[in-house]
Amino acid sequence: MSEFQREERYIVLKLSRLPAREAAYLRAIQKDAIVESVVVEADWPEYDLVWLMLAHRMSGKPVPDFNAVRYADELKHRISEFEDLLQLSLDALCECRALLHAHASSSQCSRSKMHGEIGLARIDRLTDKLRSALPRQL
């Protein structure tokens, strides 16, 4: 069998995003084009799993371990959430650095300036560590 290729075969409109009159009008004028089907939106966790199922079905391959696919998908989502948290932490550190820098710069006390410089150096090291932990360039 040949390699499975995704193809555009349908146009799907979400009824809740259409005014009721438009939905009724489309149903009335396109009776023959309406197909009973299942739709899985791209942001659903099952989306990639459904494509994988279809690819295996159409190419005659044995069904893979879908629990492993689900687990991989769950890990992908957790990694994405972790990256978001890292980015929030990096943003917070940058704000703290700016505040500390402003405080140290405006302070008349040499001890406050010294502590400010030490704090800035620590924040810079933490910022570098966070940036290196993020896979994408920020």
| Type and span of the H or E element at 25 | helix 20-29
Residue-level pLDDT at 136: 60
Residue-level pLDDT at 41: 93
Greater confidence (54 vs 69) lies with 54
Residue-level pLDDT at 22: 93
Q: Of all residues in the chain, what percent carry a pLDDT higher than 90?
A: 14
Residue-level pLDDT at 137: 47
Of 82, 96, 83, 84, the C-alpha closest to 126 is: 96
Measured N-to-C along each axis, helices 66-106 and 110-133 cross at an angle, to the nearest 10 degrees, of 160
| Span 12-30, average pLDDT | 92
Q: What does the pLDDT look like over 25-36, one tens digit per residue? A: 998 998 888 899
Greater confidence (83 vs 116) lies with 83
| Span 79-88, average pLDDT | 88
Under 8 Å between Cβ of 123 and 97: yes
Q: What does the pLDDT look like over 90-136, one tens digit per residue? A: 888 888 888 877 877 777 777 766 777 777 888 888 888 878 877 76
| Span 64-68, average pLDDT | 78
Distance CA 92, CA 127 (A): 10
Residue-level pLDDT at 19: 94
Kindly list the domain boundaries of the chain, sorted by start residue: 74-133
> What's 61's DSSP letter?
P
Is residue 13 pLDDT above 60, yes or no? Answer: yes
